[in-house]
Amino acid sequence: MTALKFAACGSVLVALWFFTIPDRPVFPLCGFHWLTGRPCPFCGLTRAMFALAKGQWAGALRFNLLSPVACAMLLSLFRSGPVRNRLWTGGLSAFAIYGLARIFFAAI
């Protein structure tokens, strides 16, 4: 089962590394952004993951400031125990606070 997880993770990383998506989406995928015009906590995260897979940290942080946290959360899926639980709890809390800040500051 572990080999299957590593193979799946490797294939996702290869796909992220080979493909490039535009900086501006052709059509909006985020329902929250489409309805309100304000970014949600996860807006830009897909593009940020593509940038992180290529080692483009500045671009990833420009798309979504918490993209390294999201990457760490995804990589923690290979582990179990209290470290993973704390990472996910802290990460989701950070995304909630970040989302509120994005909504508030986008309104100004």
4-18, 32-46, 90-104: which has the minimum mean pLDDT?
4-18
Average pLDDT over residues 20-42: 79
Which residues have CB under 8 Å from 38's CB, separation 6+?
Answer: 32, 102, 103, 106, 107
Structural domain boundaries in the chain: 2-107
Q: How far apart are CA 28 and CA 24, in angstroms?
A: 9
The long-range contacts involving 52-55, CB below 8 angstroms and separated by at least 24 positions, are: 52/16, 53/13, 53/16, 53/17, 54/16, 54/17
Q: What is the pLDDT of residue 91?
A: 94
Mean pLDDT value across the chain: 84
| Helices 82-107/67-75 angle, 10° precision | 160
Angle at 70 between CA 30 and CA 72, to 5 degrees: 165
Residue 74 is encoded by which pair of tokens? 């995804």
Instruction: Kindly report, residue by residue over 83-105, the tens digit of the pLDDT.
Output: 899 999 999 999 999 988 988 88
